[in-house]
Amino acid sequence: MGNLDIEGIINALRTITSGHQGPVSLHEPTLRGNEWAYVKDCLDSTWVSYVGQYVDRFESMLAEFTGVKKAVAVVNGTTALHIALKLAGVEPGDEVFVPALTFVATANAVAYCGAVPHFVDSEERTLGLDPHKLRDYLKSIARIDVGGCTNKFSGRRIKAVIPMHAFGHPVDLDSLAEVCKEYKIEMIEDAAESLGSYYKGKHTGNWGKLSVLSFNGNKTITTGGGGAIMTNDEHLGKMAKHLTSTAKIPHRWEYRHDYIGYNYRLPNINAAVGCAQMEQLPEFLVRKRHLAERYCDTFKKIQGVRFFKEPSFASSNYWLNVLLLDEASYKKRDEVLEATNDQGFKTRPAWDLLNTLPMFQDCSAMDLSCAENLVKRIVNIPSSSFLGKANAQT
């Protein structure tokens, strides 16, 4: 077993978070801007529900920041992904490629459509989906015809792939886009964790036919709960808004609906918080990158572990900072988690691989050797933006 310096890890966390009182959470929201003022405005105006100026403003701010043509605010990232899959044409019985190393919501949204997750491997360079290994896998299982891509063994249509930018680090999107084009597969980016992350200078969420964000309480910005569907297709953007608003045809008094719709709209009062958070997002990102730089420098001195750095083609938001235990030290992961939590540092492991969960155990999966290796070695450490310095250089 490797010579892992657990006491060194604890001392490093203590040094970097010095001055913070009490337990150090994994990721807390920072609510120091106009949140109170905007929420009060909602209360005073009584526009607290699903329509109001803050919803429109929040969607415009998201579109402008990320560079997409249309952003549609919804109640959470999972509902965003559900609608994105439907708009991409995913139907019952289809297969959708999902990384085994992701949060369960990625696969749950596939199941909501009556489709079947097909689990694929990750790469250590990004912690996300490995497009090169996926291409090799498709060579052995896929058949391409006029109807698209079919799994030769299951007989199901392979309709889409969902790359998830794990912990804010962008996947190799150009390589994945080539695979999607070659095999006629739609890409839907799960950018839930990557607001403020860039791939080759362009914000994540711009490669897929659609993409999604999450604004849960532990994300880079929060609306309490919330998410967004993003797209560069104007028609899909309009349909996303329509379907998430119960597919109601606009009229002053009549209630007419032309599709099976969903009541997924983000309330105005939550969007008000989101607007205040978006105003602070550039500062949050500077602070988070500074925190990552300090972690990187500090953990160079600690034996048996390394700080995970963004891939060379990316600029990450470092949503959750990652320690990777050395191959020889992975058996001490739980010992690290226990020791750090005992000292008041709310560290955590990665998610259990989705193919190991009872509801997904019968789903198809490729060789997952990299994901199986990573899940044993990942430790997330405190990443709140206020732990970094605002005047640091990015």
Proportion of the chain in helix, strand, coil states, percent, rounded to 5: 40, 20, 40
State the pLDDT at residue 393: 45
Question: For residue 167, what pLDDT is reported?
Answer: 98
Give the tens place of pLDDT for each residue, 321-336.
999 999 999 999 999 9
Residue 50: predicted pLDDT: 78
Residues of the chain with pLDDT under 50: 392-394
Q: Would you state the pLDDT for residue 390? A: 66
Domain boundaries, the chain: 6-31+281-387, 35-278
Query: Do the domains 6-31+281-387 and 35-278 sit in the same CATH topology, yes or no?
Result: no
φ, ψ of residue 29 in degrees (nearest 5) = -70, 150
Q: Which CATH architecture has domain 35-278?
A: 3-Layer(aba) Sandwich (3.40)
pLDDT of residue 147: 86
SS (H, E, C) 121-140: CECCCCCCECHHHHHHHHHH
At 334 the pLDDT is 97
Which residue is associated with the tokens 């914000």?
Answer: 203
State residue 256's pLDDT score: 96
Coil, helix or strand for 141?
A: helix
Q: Give per-residue pLDDT as tens, 299-328.
A: 999 999 999 999 999 999 999 999 999 999
Report pLDDT for 342.
97
The alpha carbon of 306 is separated from its chain's Cα centroid by a whole number of angstroms, namely 23
Q: What is the rounded CA–CA span in Å between residue 375 and residue 377?
A: 6
- 6-31+281-387 — its CATH code? 3.90.1150.10
- For 117, list phi and psi in degrees, rounded to 5: -65, 140
Instruction: Tell me the pTM.
Output: 0.96
384: number of Cβ within 10 Å? 20
d(CA 74, CA 53): 15
For 319, the enclosing helix (H) or strand (E) is none
